Amino acid sequence: MRAVLATARTEWVRYFRDRIAMFTTLALPVVLVLLIGLSFGQSAERLPVGMLQSDPGPLGTSLVAELEDSPAIDVQQYTDRNEMYRDIRMGLVAGGVEVPADGEPVQIYVQQASTGAGVVVSTVNSAAAQISTRATAIDALSEQIPTQKARAAVDQAMADIPAVEVATRAIGAVNEMDENRFASAVPSQLMLFTFLNGLLGAAALVQARQLGVFQRTLATPHGLGVYLSGLGLSRFLIAILQAVILLGLGVLWFGINLGDPVAVTALVLIYSVIAAAAGMLLGGVVRTPGQAVAVAVPAGIVMGMLGGCMWPLSVVGTTMQRIGHLTPQAWAMDSWNAIINEGAGIGGIAGYLAVLVGFAVVLSALAVWALGRHARTGR
């Protein structure tokens, strides 16, 4: 075991001496997660809405206060109408509300086809209706009692009226990956780059073959098995490191709810074995480091596309879904969807994990055979 760990340490150090490997393993996935998450946006509980006040009277002031207390929108004050228009067009706010002097209509501005337009309109209309109802009731009571007492009576009556409780059950509800785009970006980029970096590690294996490292291991007391075990362990730990960085970033910075930790751990461990074995297999098949890179990059990207790392498989046809499930990425993404969106535990993804274990066993066996063949033949 000590020899295996020593070999793994040596290969680990050799891998991270390569600046390109450092970039693709540590920096590039993080950058892409940021770009994808920020590009699609991270939905918030309260929609940002611009507010422009044009000398409002008592009714307008009450409306502003009502909107500021709304749980649906987050009011952002503006003093320039053109600035508010600009932010609405750019999508920085979901809409805008202009509150004029009393007696003039309140203006609502929304971007055409905006997903938040309905929320903005309904929230403002509801607040305006409530303010109007209160004002009408005060006016009616003021004919019989002093205005101040009428206002207090109406406020007390509205406070005593129990709120109507509404239970909402959404069909096709927004799930965690839709609600927080980083919850989709982190797992997908993790699956994509773990596998891609595993394949890129094949270039170092080809160099080792060319330098005769494999042949020399047969003359050592430990033999080829120890070297291959250490080699696989180093690649496995590199994949684990990448997973820890991306998942830690997602949880601590982006607030992702990853779900059941046992299921997540099992999925990451099995997929890391797959990535390590795939790279070792490629290293035993190609003849030069250049060939390894030339095969690794397109193969990793194409398999990521087919497996749903770049877009959900739910948006493609049945035939493409079946083709995609010839890759381990598709089964891994199915597992992530079940864990994050459906709250599945280890039992809920057992079928997916069984398929991934099959990929791991087959790829590992082929990798050992391919690399062992080079050690025995010297070619």
Does the pLDDT of residue 43 top 60, yes or no? no
Q: Which residue has the higher pLDDT, 192 or 379?
A: 192
pLDDT attached to residue 35: 64
Mean pLDDT of 41-65: 76
Burial label for 282, CB within 10 Å (0-12, 13-18, 19+), is buried
Residues 6+ apart with CB under 8 A from 218: 224, 375, 376
pLDDT given for residue 44 in this prediction: 47
DSSP codes of every residue in 139-206: HHHHTTS-HHHHHHHHHHHHHHSPPPP-----TT---HHHHBTHHHHHHHHHHHHHHHHHHHTHHHHH
Mean pLDDT of the chain: 76
**pLDDT the model gives residue 167:** 40
Beta carbons within 8 Å of 267's beta carbon, 6+ residues apart: 332, 335, 336, 339, 349, 353, 356
In whole angstroms, give the CA distance from residue 141 to residue 212: 98
What's the CA gap between 110 and 89, in Å, rounded?
8
Mean pLDDT, range 5-10, rounded to an integer: 64
Question: What pLDDT score does 168 carry?
Answer: 38
47-160: which CATH topology? abc type-2 transporter like fold (3.40.1710)
Residue, of 254 and 169, whose pLDDT is higher: 254
- Residue 351: pLDDT band by 50, 70, 90 thresholds? very high
Which whole-number Å values give the CA distances from 316 to 180, 322, 363, in the listed order?
22, 10, 27
State the Cα–Cα distance between residues 46 and 120, nearest whole angstrom: 10
Q: What's the rounded Cα separation, in Å, for the pair 83 and 87?
A: 6
How far, in Å, CA of 196 to CA of 194, rounded? 6
Which two tokens mark 17? 């001496």
Higher pLDDT, 140 or 89: 89
Report the C-alpha gap between 186 and 42 in whole angstroms.
13
Nearest Cα neighbor of 139 from 61, 69, 59 is 59
Average pLDDT over residues 109-117: 71
Which region among 85-94, 129-138, 329-338 has the lowest average model confidence (pLDDT)?
129-138
Instruction: Report the distance separating Cα 244 and Cα 263, nearest Å.
Output: 15
**Helices marked H in the chain:** 2-16, 19-22, 28-40, 58-68, 81-90, 117-142, 147-160, 176-179, 182-200, 202-210, 213-217, 223-252, 261-285, 289-306, 318-324, 328-342, 350-377
Q: Mean pLDDT lowest for which of 33-42, 55-64, 86-95, 128-137?
A: 33-42
Query: Model confidence at 221, in pLDDT bands (50, 70, 90)?
Result: low
Residue 134 CA: distances (Å) to CA of 68, 154, 161, 310, 366: 18, 7, 13, 52, 77
pLDDT(197) > 60: yes
> Regarding predicted confidence, which is higher, 279 or 133?
279
Residue reference for tokens 């035939």: 319
Query: In this structure, what DSSP letter does residue 312 have?
Result: -
Residues of the chain with CATH 3.40.1710: 47-160
For range 72-90, the mean pLDDT: 86
As a whole number, mean pLDDT of residues 288-309 equals 87
Q: What is the pLDDT of residue 189?
A: 83
Q: Are strands 107-110 and 73-78 parallel, antiparallel or unpaired?
A: unpaired
Q: Phi then psi for 84, rounded to 5 degrees?
A: -65, -40
Q: What is the mean pLDDT of residues 321-330?
A: 92
Residue with the bigger pLDDT between 82 and 157: it is: 82
